[in-house]
Amino acid sequence: QAETINLSYNGAPDLDKNAVHVFASTLKSLVEKKTDGELELKLYPNSMLGGEQERMEQVINAPGLNIASFAGVAPLIPEIYVSAIPFLFKDFEAARQFFDEGDYWKNVQQVFSERANGAKILAVVEEGGFLAFTNSVRPIAGPEDFEGLRFRAMDPSQVALYEAFGASGTPIPWTETYMALRTGVADGQMNPPMYIILGSLYEVQKYLTLANIQYSDQFLVANGQLLDSLSDENRKALMSAVHEANQMARVTNQAKVGERLAFLKEHGMEIINPTDANLEALRTQGQPAYLNWLTEEQGIEQRWIDMALEDAGMTKLAN
């Protein structure tokens, strides 16, 4: 008799376009294989069971799995915004190590579990590479190239970042972003290549700057009672399936980023790789604005920031 576990997430069930779906479907087959079909995952893509907030409430209160974005996790633990400090990671390697081995992340997991009725964050799922700047005015190599540009912002932290570079940021919903870029209401925006392709933004943007702004990730959350109810054997199988699926998804994801950049280049985008000196300049100019937003607007204690910077090997950051 198989036990069915629901796994909900956002985005289409499309292996080509949705990195989260790649992870979810790999996890499904691995779990079923490793438990000899004793556990069975039922996939609910496309936010079918509700938005981020609703799905998070469901996974806290009832047996199930959910892959949450920042919007789902942050209302419970705003400290998670610390992991999105801009220019925190040099590359995939650094970001993965940060989450796999760092103290900051262990603390987040623990506090989350306390606040979320025993629910656990089981994995950090890569979503589509790092965020990159795009714009239609000029190639951006360093902070000075932002002067006077108008950017589409997703939230106030992005506004703060743009303003730190002498540009301006306007909140525009994702659904209206293409139009805003096309009509010149905004000159640019930031997103991982996956979203630049999904939203056809390459049609209306010329320059793409690979500045590794933020690591793009979501979080696999499991209900506490569900984990407790499983037999030791099945729980171990589930955990190892999660681990394995995540490793596989990372490999696929990293390979896809290359493919996607090639696609964007083919469709007329100019890709800019800033020099190390320029990346450093972006970091020193951009980070304080975000850190300020973290402490002032989100009321996050300094110790979380210190811990994260330490884990990322950035102890001597100008603040």
Binding site for other proteins (CB under 8 A): 12, 44, 46, 48-51, 53-54, 57-58, 61-62, 71, 74-76, 78, 115-117, 155-156, 159, 168-176, 178-180, 182-183, 185-186
77 or 241: whose CB is closer to other proteins?
77
Q: What share of the chain is helix, strand, coil (3-state, %, to 5)?
A: 50, 20, 30
For residue 105 the two structure tokens come to 């992340």
Cβ–Cβ < 8 Å for 9, 65: no
CA 78 from chain center: how many Å? Answer: 14
| Min separation Cβ 310 and other proteins, Å | 26
- Among 140, 145, 195, CA closest to 20: 195
For residue 18 the two structure tokens come to 């949705």
Q: Which residue has the tokens 């806290």?
A: 60
| Min separation Cβ 24 and other proteins, Å | 15
186 or 197: whose CB is closer to other proteins?
186
78 or 166: whose CB is closer to other proteins?
78
Q: Which residue has the tokens 């979320």?
A: 116
Q: Which residue has the tokens 């576990």?
A: 5
d(CA 117, CA 88): 30
Strands 132-135 and 65-68: unpaired
| Min separation Cβ 186 and other proteins, Å | 7
| Min separation Cβ 52 and other proteins, Å | 10
| Min separation Cβ 216 and other proteins, Å | 18
DSSP 3: E
- Among 130, 125, 128, CA closest to 220: 125
3 or 54: whose CB is closer to other proteins?
54
| Min separation Cβ 294 and other proteins, Å | 14
170 or 273: whose CB is closer to other proteins?
170
37 or 75: whose CB is closer to other proteins?
75
